[in-house]
Amino acid sequence: MLNRRLVLTLAFVGAFALPRLAAAEDVPVIAAASDLQFALTEIAAAFQADTGQRVDLTLGSTGTIATQIRQGAPFQMFLAADEAFIATLHAEGLTRDEGVLYAEGRLVIMVPHGSALQADAALSGLAAQLDAGTLGKFAIANPDHAPYGQRAEEALRHAGLWDRVQPHLVLGENVSQAAQFALSGNADGGIIAWSLALAPEVAAQGDFALIPNDWHNSLMQRMVLLPTAGPVAEAFYDFMQSPEAREVMVKYGFVLPEGP
Amino acid sequence: MDWTALTLSLWLAFWTVAILLPVSVLAGRGLAYTNFRGKGLVEAAVMLPLVLPPTVLGYYLLVGFGANSHLGGLWQGIFGHPLAFSFEGLVLASVLFNLPFAIQPAQRGFEAIPVALREAAACCGLSPWRALWKVDLPLAWPGLLTAMVLTFAHTLGEFGIVLMVGGSIPNETKTIAIAIYDRVQAFDTDAAGVMAATLVAISFVTIAATYWLSARLGKRLT
Amino acid sequence: MTLSVALRSHGPIPLDLSFRVAPGELLALVGPSGAGKTTALRAIAGLMTPNVGRVTAGDAIWLDTSASVNLPPHRRHLGVVFQSYALFPHLTALGNVLTAMPIPDQMEAQRLLDLVNLQGLANRRPADLSGGQQQRVALARALARRPKALLLDEPFSAVDRATRDGLQAEIIALRAHLNMPVVLVTHDLNEAQMLADRMLVIDGGRMIREGTTAEVMADAAALRTLGVREVAALLPAVIVAHEDDGLTRLDTATGPIFLPRIDARIGTRLRVRIMAHEVILSRDRPVGLSAQNILPATVRAVVPGDGPAVTLRLALGPDDILARITRRAAADLALVPGDTVHVILKTMSVARDHIARQTDPA
């Protein structure tokens, strides 16, 4: 009596397990830096509309993704916010080739509506708040592993504000989280990616100003196929370099490298 | 609403409970009934995941079964894909991380059985195995039920470990907790809100249903 | 299938005992608290392992430290009744009894419950049973295995007096069905004397005296351990008539006695526990005395004690009783073995629980 019930339960459970096991079609996982949140989602949708094929996106800080790739994460393509990470992975033999530049990223200072902080390209608003001693929290991505965070630090150093602003910093795990912090109302503002600020849902939340790109090392964003890449990933890689995709990238402020 | 992520979370919780149920019975009973040198150490080790931040555990798990480890290499050799960043890797991490939730309440449940009853069972001719089924489990089941409910609910909400060991891969390791995080970062607060509310509702219903059931069963037994 | 026990243990409760119990025989382990009675019982059951020991039941060797044999309790074919009943709360009375059967037999379980007078209560849970009823279930459960030995650990200490009397009467009635060795641990001397064939007095884990209840009761060393107020003897008697004034007339070997009304049929054979310190002796047959019970007896022995008292063993025909009087009184009456005396007993001094049926040999 007990045995029969046990067998039936196991069969029932097994039947449920099958659909999950069978769902393993070839939908490649594309890992990308968080600044591509909106741009890449749009491009992936266009890819699916054009070719009928699907890709799955997973976004995070460039450094974190690189570590995961070292740990054997099953990504098929990687779009980094800083080509240095790609170079290192390539040297370790973890990529198919050196990849290709797909964009240059830019920084903006962004403040939510109603913030006492003013957003301007020279960061003078930020300096003023620091002088007056009235600055609350200021968000950037974590310089340890997020390229946008590293560049934010460089820009702040260039403006001579780094030491004074440090005690006020909140660090986002990636630039998207930094944007969250900057606009959530708990911080006075932050330095985030231009590509995020240009997204309608983000732009609506505050004001921003583009930071001169000679205030920091350039954000050369490179993408590369990984060894496990299949035909769909390869098609997407090519699609990224197509005019259709490039148009979307421009919309989100990504300066394109002079391409063929 | 990311149904894939939700289903994945439910499966993760289910498998974690399924694997930990026999563990909680055997380990809970063993710790309740025996005294041995080093028992305190074992109990402390079991409780460790409760006090460790998920990131610490995640780190050690990556070291322990990441691509560069023996276990990871072995797994890759047999199955052709890494243990980390896979559903199976999540299950393993989840099982380890839920040990205190699964074992401690079970142990209390078994400890609540008066010693005289266990002795009586033995003097009735019941071997430890038969005594488990006829006496221990019918009396200790509230502790076991608590353990399984806690494990289920805790797994549904797991975030830090999944983030570190999982990699947010859809239909593989992107649980609903990760999906919520993902939607927040995409400034899609509506979707995040819907999923968060769903998670709360499911957890609440599960826990309430379990305790209602146990109250009914309890009335039958006492 | 004799139960043979030899135990030696250093502590925390030291033990140094050895005894045998024949099938159908009931041995009472008596002694002060902490003497080691329950420890000895647990060692027989396998719930505790002594440093050195050997326990066998017939051919079955349950414990033999010299041969590294130590069967766990569930492999020892015995039945145990615990002080706290230890019934399984999630099972009915019937369920409890069935659990102890290797092959569940509903009819046999029902029969056992009937045997202990629990008809109609088979489907009650322990929580719905009184203390006395629970203990009866425990007894039925202990017997369900057809055990090679029955162990009772202070089985009646948790119930009230009235219930205890009833349970003791049941045990006596059950003796015919208990054809295995029975070991009873109790601190109640009355219970021991009424139920047991043999007694073993323990103190500090060591055996002080072992023998029939009559022998032990008359033993000075045993009494030093048990307390002199417990000295008593069992007098066999037969109910002859129930009088109108609330008394029952019984016949003993050397004459009639009257006791407060006993609820039993004419012809029932009883044992009456006569406390030694309540016996008055007289050389001549007294007249004008309120006491109704005057029996001729012969002095067998005069045993001086430590204090002001002496214990006399007296024969009433084939039966023996004990009397404790002052040394001065013995000297005044110049009592020596062989003398004829009259034993005087107050009807009202015989307590209700000092009367029990005779146990027929199994």
- Identify from B16, B17, B68, B187 which residue to disrupt to test chain A contact, counting A C-beta atoms within 10 A and taking the largest count: B187
| Contact predicate B94/B61, CB 8 Å | no
Tell the residue number behind the tokens 């459970």, with chain if given.
A13
Q: Which residues make Cβ contacts (< 8 Å) with residue C34, sequence separation at least 6? A: C13
Q: What percent of chain A stands above pLDDT 70? A: 89
Both structure tokens of B181: 């995080």
Least reliable range by pLDDT among A128-132, B15-19, B117-121, B208-212: B208-212
Residue among A58, A72, A177 whose CB faces B168 most closely: A58
Q: Which has more pLDDT, A22 or B187?
A: B187
Alpha-carbon gap, residue C152 to C287, rounded angstroms: 47
Of B178-182, B209-213, C94-98, least confident by mean pLDDT is: B209-213
C204, two tokens: 């500090």
Q: Which residues of A touch B72 (CB under 8 A)?
A: 72
Distance CA A180, CA A176 (A): 6
Query: Which of the two residues, A20 and B145, has the higher pLDDT score?
Result: B145
Which is it for strands C309-316 and C319-326: parallel, antiparallel or unpaired? antiparallel
Nearest to B72 among A60, A72, A201 (CB): A72
Above 60 in pLDDT, residue C126? yes
Per DSSP, the three-state class of A18 is: helix
Q: Looking at chain B, which residue has its C-alpha nearest residue A18?
A: B11
Cross-strand partners of C212: C198
Which of C168, C197, C221, C203 has the alpha carbon at shortest distance from C28?
A: C197
Beta strands in chain B (DSSP E): none
pLDDT digits (tens, 9 = 90+) for C262-301: 888 899 899 899 999 999 999 999 999 888 899 999 999 8
Distance CA C73, CA C42 (A): 10
Asked if the Cβ–Cβ distance from B120 to C86 is below 8 Å, we say yes
Residue type, C223: L
- Of B81-85, B179-183, C22-26, C290-294, the one with minimum mean pLDDT is B81-85
User: Per the CB < 8 Å rule, is C80 touching B120?
Assistant: yes
DSSP 3-state of A25? coil
What is chain C's alpha carbon radius of gyration, rounded to the nearest angstrom? 22
Percent of chain A exceeding pLDDT 90 equals 67
CB contact under 8 A, A41 and B186: yes
Q: Count other Cβ atoms within 10 Å, centred on residue B197.
A: 10
Tell me which residue in B11, B76, B182 faces A20 most closely, judged by beta carbons. B11
Closest to A179 (Cα-Cα) out of B180, B177, B187: B187
DSSP B13: H
Task: Please provide the DSSP assignment of A55-119 as one string.
Answer: -EEEEE-HHHHHHHHHTT---SEEE-SSHHHHHHHHHTT-SSS--EEEEEE-EEEEEETT-SSPP
Q: Which of residues 104-143 of C touch B (CB under 8 A)?
A: 125, 127, 141-142
- Distance to chain B for C125, nearest Cα, Å: 8
CA C207 – CA C210 distance, rounded (Å)? 7
The per-residue pLDDT for B1 is: 82
Q: Give the residue-averaged pLDDT of C76-95.
A: 93
Rounded to an integer, the average pLDDT of C144-169 is 87
Examine the pLDDT at B27 and tell me if it is beyond 50.
yes
Structure-block tokens of residue B194: 């819907």
What DSSP state is assigned to residue B82? Answer: -
Average pLDDT value for residue range A170-198: 91
Chain C residues in contact with B124 by the CB 8 A cut-off are: 74, 99-100, 141, 144-145
d(CA B68, CA C89): 54
- Secondary structure percentages of chain B, helix, strand, coil, to 5: 80, 0, 20
Q: Are C86 and B117 an interchain contact pair (Cβ–Cβ within 8 Å)?
A: yes
Cβ of C86 within 8 Å of Cβ of B135? The answer is no
pLDDT at A257 over 90: no
Is B167's CB within 8 Å of A73's CB?
yes
* CB < 8 Å to A75, chain B: 167
Chain B residues within an 8 Å CB radius of C84: 114, 116
Q: What is the pLDDT of residue A10?
A: 65
Q: What is the separation, in whole angstroms, between the first and last Cα of chain A?
A: 73
C86·B139 Cβ contact <8 A:
no
For range B114-120, the mean pLDDT? 94
CA distance C216 to C100: 36
pLDDT band with cut points at 50, 70 and 90 for residue A223: very high
Q: What is the mean pLDDT of chain A?
A: 87
Per DSSP, the residues of C314-335 read EEETTEEEEEEEEHHHHHHHT-
User: Across the interface, do B182 and A202 touch by the CB < 8 Å criterion?
Assistant: no
Identify which of B66, B82, B186 has the shortest CB distance to residue A74: B82
In this prediction, residue B189 carries a pLDDT of: 86
Q: A20–B7: do the CB atoms touch at under 8 Å?
A: yes
- Residue scoring higher pLDDT (C200 or C160): C200
The neighbouring-strand residues paired with C201 are: C30, C209
Q: Which of C82, C90, C102 sits opposite B120 (nearest CB)?
A: C82
Q: How many CB pairs under 8 A join B and C?
A: 64
3-class secondary-structure state, position B6? helix
Average pLDDT rounded to a whole number, residues A101-129: 91
B128 φ, ψ (degrees, to nearest 5):
-50, -35
Partnered with residue C8 across adjacent β-strands are C16, C52
Encoded amino acid at B132, one letter: L
* pLDDT at residue A25, rounded to an integer: 62
Inform me whether the pLDDT recorded for A256 exceeds 90. Answer: no
Tens digits of residue pLDDT in C103-124: 999 999 999 999 888 988 999 9
- Checking if the pLDDT of A260 tops 70, the result is no
Nearest to A72 among B67, B186, B188 (CB): B67
CA gap B61, B76 in Å, rounded: 16
The contacts found for C119-122 with CB under 8 angstroms, 24 or more apart, are: C121/C93, C122/C92, C122/C93, C122/C94
d(CA A141, CA A71): 23
Nearest by Cα to C228 from C309, C329, C313, C303: C309
In this prediction, residue C91 carries a pLDDT of: 94
Q: How confident is the model at residue B86 (pLDDT cuts 50, 70, 90)?
A: confident
Cβ–Cβ under 8 Å, residues A51 and A165: no
Query: Which chains pack against A, by 3+ Cβ pairs within 8 A?
Result: B
CB-based contact (8 Å) between C148 and chain B?
Answer: no
CB B19 within 8 A of CB B91: yes
**Cα nearest neighbour of A40 on chain B:** B186
Is chain A adjacent to chain C, meaning 3+ CB pairs within 8 angstroms? no
**H or E element at residue C137:** helix C131-144
Integer Rg of chain B from CA: 20
Amino acid at A163: D
Cα atoms in the 13 Å half-sphere on the side-chain side of C263: 4
CB A103 within 8 A of CB A222: no
pLDDT-based confidence at residue C53 (cuts at 50, 70, 90): very high
Q: What angle do CA B58, B62, B66 make, to 5 degrees?
A: 160
pLDDT digits (tens, 9 = 90+) for C213-269: 888 888 878 888 888 788 889 899 999 999 999 999 999 988 999 999 988 889 989
Question: Which residues in A106-188 belong to E strands, given as ranges?
Answer: 107-112, 138-141, 169-172
Distance CA A197, CA A178 (A): 12
Interval C61-81 mean pLDDT = 94
Both tokens assigned to B173: 């390791």
Does residue B71 belong to the interface with chain A, where contact is any CB pair within 8 Å? no
Are B171 and A71 an interchain contact pair (Cβ–Cβ within 8 Å)?
no
Band of residue C362 on the pLDDT scale cut at 50, 70, 90: very low
Give residue A112's identity as a one-letter amino acid code: P
Phi-psi group of C86: left, alpha or beta (phi > 0 → left; psi -120 to 50 → alpha; rest → beta): left
- pLDDT-derived band at A23, boundaries 50, 70, 90: very low
> pTM here?
0.78
Q: Give the pLDDT confidence score for residue C361 in this predicted structure.
A: 45
Asked if the C-beta of B112 comes within 8 angstroms of chain C's C-beta atoms, the answer is no
Tokens in use for B67?
């691509």
* A72 contacts B169? CB cut-off 8 A: no
Query: Which of B122, B135, B221 is facing C72, going by the closest CB pair?
Result: B122
From the CA atom positions of chain A, what is the Rg in Å?
22
Place of tokens 């050369």: A220
- Torsion angle defined by CA atoms of residues C206, C208, C213 and C217, in that order, rounded to the nearest 10 degrees: -150
Indicate the residue of B84, B185, B188 with minimum beta-carbon distance to A71.
Answer: B84
- Is B11 in contact with A201 (Cβ distance < 8 A)? no
- Asked if residue B14 has pLDDT above 60, the reply is yes
- Residues C282 and C219: beta-carbon distance below 8 Å: no
**Minimum CA–CA partner of B219 in chain C:** C90
- Tell me the chain A residues in contact with residue B174 when contact means C-beta distances shorter than 8 Å: 58
Is B82's CB within 8 Å of A73's CB?
A: yes
Structure-block tokens of residue A21: 């096991």
- Give chain C positions within 8 Å (CB) of B123: 45, 47, 73-74, 78-80, 142
Task: List Cβ neighbours of B22 (8 Å cut-off, separation of 6 or more).
Answer: none
Whether residue C99 and residue B134 make contact (CB cut-off 8 A), yes or no, is: yes
Residue B72 confidence class, pLDDT cut points 50, 70, 90: confident
